[in-house]
Amino acid sequence: MSLYYRLFILALFLFGGAFATARYAGGETDAPAPLMAQVYQAAEFSSLQQVVGLNDDMWRDMPAASINLGFSDDHVWVRMPLSQLPFDYQRQPWILELGYPLLDHIELYIMHGDVVLLHTDAGNDLPYSSRPLAVPEFAFPVPPLSQAQWLYLYVHSESSVQIPIRTFPEQNYWQQRVGEVTFDAAFHAILFSMLAYNLLIFLLSRDLIFFLYSLSIGAFAMMMAALHGWTYALLWPESPHLNDLAILLSLALSEAFLALFGVSFLRLRKLHPRAFMLYSSYVVSALIFAVLAFYLPYHTMIRLLTGQAVLMSLSALALGQLLWWQTRSRDVFLFFLAAFSLLIGLFLYAMQKFGVIPVNVVTEHAAELGSIILVVLLALSMAERHNRERQARLAAQDVIINMQREANAVLDQKVRERTEDLELLNQRLREESTTDALTRVRNRRYFDQRFYTLYQDAFRQQTPLALLLIDIDHFKQFNDTHGHQLGDTVLQKVAQTMQQAIKRPQDSVYRYGGEEFAILLPNTDESGAIQVAELVRQRIERLRLEHEGQILSLTVSVGLCAAIPPQRDQQEVLYQQADKALYLAKDQGRNRSCALPLSIPDSQQQSR
């Protein structure tokens, strides 16, 4: 058997037992025989003298503890012989309690024949401070009266006419009050703890359903506190008219908030438009009833609101069962079970108010029991819904995360490819911007950067740096004689020969401008630089170019300077010495290499 059916059968068992107890209360028991009273009710008011003189056949016998006439506008008299009290009322003070706190007008008479020994007025229409005892129910202290024979009560009320009579010796009354107050306190503590819990969940999750549920619990807790007289005792003790209004307003708001909660929880707007219209009508009618409560009599409004509460419970029960059959989800089943619990509780409570079943512990607290089960089951239902939606969100998040990871992986791959392409393109652009387009060796711009860097490195490391400046001999005359096209070919051949002549990776060739080239040789002294210069010169000298049947040859002049930099930022001096050496080679007949040492002018040495 599934968990659903076990819970359902448990609810049937509990409420079946409660209904049986309510229906057959007063059956055979080992307890002392209950007190009996006689009731007379009439549409017209009768005075005490008139009812004392009534014939016995005009009175109805009823158990004193369960007098319930339902909603009635009649004037009611109750009489009870004091001789049946189970204690010595003539020798000790005692308490008479009427356990329904909503009776509007009460008059108590203790009689000896037709002589009034004690008269006390009370009722919900009077300020709370006028009550004989400051308790939510009506309690009348009675002193020991040796001649007392009869108790007479006059009751008239717009609410349900319930007159549950209990009597206690004075010393016992306050002891039994402890248990009743504890029950009420525990009941409201449960409701307010659930209210606080759901408000906290709402503040954390911002889910409207928890807010609506909190409002429903708050309104219902206020209604039950008003029904049991606690709001009158604690909030507005000097304003009797507010208590009836508080009951009607809290009941109307409970119905409105519960209907809104049902609409939100069951998603009726989307899943069941007809049910959505029905529950929307409940909300509208409840709000209309809340407004009418300020103008219409209490007995009219309480009947309308109680009837709508039963209709809402029936429709919630039917709708919950239908949705459960369709979805088979736990949260809907728990909603159905909660509606069933509330329906049974309200049914017992309403039947008691209308006088169909007697007043006893079960019927008087049926609404509380049903509401507690409702609150717990709805909390479980929302927890189940929240957990299911959370799991669905987590599953959806996993799917989204996986999709995002895949998308990120694809994007990362594309970004890497694009980055590599861009880096390659930028590298090519950098190379193009620093490479001579004709000879494909580095240009003057790159030479200036590289020369500065190598000079700084040589200064820091105190290693020699060699600079070779190479100029093609008589290139302008050669270019004018044989044409610019052959001149370009010569420049290309010379650059290619220079690159082939140098062996080390750190050595580099540059086109400095026109027919002039430069070679930088890091960590190379003057003798090594002269060897490289001669190698370059000799290889170029051996070049042969064929043009229009002629064999043409070339020569170059090389000027160099190699030294360990004695100062920082003096690379211009190194260049000037290499340039002077180049002119010296030209002056000495060209096709040769000349070297000059690095010499720093005295003025620059003094400025170090």
Domain residue ranges of the chain, discontinuous segments joined by +: 3-13+176-399, 35-174, 444-606
The residue with greater pLDDT, 153 or 5, is: 153
CA-closest candidate to residue 62, choices 86, 35, 101: 35
The residue with greater pLDDT, 60 or 271, is: 60
The residue with greater pLDDT, 607 or 38, is: 38
Residue range 278-327, pLDDT digits in tens: 989 999 999 999 999 999 988 889 889 888 887 887 887 787 777 777 77
CATH architecture of the domain covering 3-13+176-399: Up-down Bundle (1.20)
**Structure-block tokens of residue 219:** 């309104």
**Which residues lie across from 560 on neighbouring strands?**
468, 595
Mean pLDDT of 196-213: 84
DSSP string, 55-70: -GGGSEEEEGGG-EEE
Same fold yes or no, 35-174 and 444-606: no
| 20 pLDDT more than 50 | no
Class of domain 444-606: alpha beta
Which of these is catalytic: 107, 431, 515, 516? 515
| 384 pLDDT more than 50 | yes
Mean pLDDT of 236-251: 86
Per-residue pLDDT band at 4 (split at 50, 70, 90):
very low
Q: Which fold has domain 35-174?
A: Immunoglobulin-like (2.60.40)
**Residue in the structure block whose two tokens are 């170090």:** 608
DSSP 33: P
Say if residues 108 and 120 touch (Cβ distance below 8 Å): yes
CA 136/CA 230 separation, integer angstroms: 6
Mean per-residue pLDDT of the chain: 84
Q: Residue 141, CB half-sphere, CA atoms under 13 Å: how many?
A: 12
Between 35-44, 63-72, 487-496, the lowest mean confidence (pLDDT) is in 63-72
158 counts as catalytic = no
Q: Computed from CA positions of residues 164, 168, 173, 175, in that sequence, does the dihedral angle turn out positive or negative?
A: negative
| 375 pLDDT more than 80 | no
**Which residues lie across from 519 on neighbouring strands?**
468, 509
Residue range 486-504, pLDDT digits in tens: 889 999 999 999 999 998 9
Between 28-37, 170-179, 572-581, the lowest mean confidence (pLDDT) is in 28-37
**Which residues lie across from 166 on neighbouring strands?**
97
Q: Specify the pLDDT at position 539.
A: 94
| 40 pLDDT more than 50 | yes
CA 336/CA 313 separation, integer angstroms: 10
Which uninterrupted H or E stretch holds 160? strand 160-162
The residue with greater pLDDT, 344 or 499, is: 499
Percent of the chain at pLDDT exceeding 90: 38
Residue range 316-340, pLDDT digits in tens: 778 777 777 777 777 777 777 776 7
Per-residue pLDDT band at 97 (split at 50, 70, 90):
very high
Q: Specify the pLDDT at position 169.
A: 93
* Phi, psi dihedrals of residue 82, rounded to the nearest 5°: -75, -15
**Structure-block tokens of residue 65:** 């503890």
**Residue in the structure block whose two tokens are 């998040």:** 397
Mean pLDDT of 454-476: 95
3-class DSSP assignment, residue 307: helix
